[in-house]
């Protein structure tokens, strides 16, 4: 008989995400039968790359399953600029937050997690500069825009990231990062080409986009993260999965809010942040 590895975590008002080594996942409502189900108690076993991938991807899928929360596909250059400027604030935080979490985890006797975070801090360094280069390529005052533009979809995510690294045991920041890496890896050639068609071919305003898509290093980053997380104790995997779910929920809510803003209002906010009239033409 083939041995089955299962992982699970309880989130979202008594809903358990359950996964197995094939990376398949299910949602189980515990409800009145909570005492009879094994998933009500925290898992204690070892993980596998497949079951851990299912657990994390299930967390993202569950968060995006409520309401009209399909990721907004960019339909205008103004919306692209708006979201790009918002991404700057997360990218700017990442290296320093990873180093801060690594320092605390090393002090708690978890050098392997600290080394992992320090390595990824080095990998993420400079990505905020890609945003500035892309905005400048579009003829925009990049520094003024990122300094003055308030992106209501990104603001709660940044606040959550800030809080995650300040807790006593900040392993959850890995789940936050996984959510961003995994969703970015879903952007394939068709979506990237559709976005780059928003501006003249003579311009390169997609450095950040390419890097954070399936065309860049995100796919390999996701596989690396899954392997590392799977090697961690069950208690760590639980916290990482919970943080992944919470991050994805904030991301889904932000996409819903921003998707309801008309392009004309987005353009007006970009101009207010820039302090000047801007011309965005395909």
CB 255 within 8 A of CB 25: no
Average pLDDT over residues 15-29: 94
**Sheet bearing 6-11, strands edge to edge:** 6-11, 15-20, 25-29
Burial pattern 3-42, b for ≥16 Cβ within 10 A else e, equals eebbbbbbbbeebbbbbbbebebeebebeeeeeeeebeee
Q: Give pLDDT tens digits for 196-241.
A: 999 999 999 999 999 999 998 889 999 999 999 999 999 999 999 9
For residue 27, report the phi and psi dihedrals to the nearest 5 degrees: -110, 125
Kindly report the pTM of this predicted structure: 0.94
List the domains of the chain with CATH numbers: 6-63 (no CATH), 77-274 (1.20.910.10)
Q: Token pair 């065309």 is at which residue?
A: 215
Average pLDDT over residues 67-75: 54
Rounded Cα–Cα distance for residues 115 and 123 (Å): 13
User: Residue 1 — pLDDT band, cuts 50, 70, 90?
Assistant: very low
Q: Give pLDDT tens digits for 84-133.
A: 999 999 999 999 999 999 999 999 999 999 999 999 999 999 999 999 99
Q: Give pLDDT tens digits for 26-58.
A: 999 888 777 777 888 899 999 999 999 999 999
């Amino acid at each position: 008989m083939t041995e089955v590895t299962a992982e699970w975590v309880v989130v979202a008002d008594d809903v358990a995400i359950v996964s197995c080594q094939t990376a398949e996942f299910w949602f189980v409502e515990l409800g009145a039968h909570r005492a009879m189900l094994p998933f009500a108690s925290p898992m204690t076993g070892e993980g596998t790359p497949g079951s851990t991938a299912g657990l994390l991807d299930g967390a993202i899928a569950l968060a995006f399953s409520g309401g009209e929360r399909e990721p907004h596909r960019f339909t205008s250059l103004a919306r692209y600029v708006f979201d790009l400027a918002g991404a700057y604030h997360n990218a700017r935080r990442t290296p320093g937050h990873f180093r801060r979490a690594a320092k605390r985890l090393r002090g708690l006797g978890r050098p392997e997690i600290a080394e992992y975070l320090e390595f990824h801090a080095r990998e993420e360094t400079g990505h905020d500069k890609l945003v500035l280069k892309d905005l400048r390529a579009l003829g925009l005052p990049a520094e003024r825009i990122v300094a003055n533009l308030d992106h209501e979809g990104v603001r709660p995510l940044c606040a959550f990231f800030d809080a995650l690294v300040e807790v006593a045991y900040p392993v959850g920041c890995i789940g936050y990062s996984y959510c961003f890496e995994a969703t970015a890896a879903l952007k394939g050639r068709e979506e990237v080409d559709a976005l780059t068609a928003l501006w003249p071919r003579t311009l390169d305003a997609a450095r950040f986009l390419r890097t954070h898509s399936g065309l860049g290093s995100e796919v390999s980053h996701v596989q690396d993260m899954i392997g590392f997380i799977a090697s961690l104790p069950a208690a760590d995997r639980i916290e990482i999965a919970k943080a992944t779910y919470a991050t994805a929920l904030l991301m889904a809510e932000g996409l819903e809010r921003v998707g309801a803003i008309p392009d004309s209002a987005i353009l007006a906010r970009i101009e207010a942040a820039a302090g000047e009239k801007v011309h965005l033409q395909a």
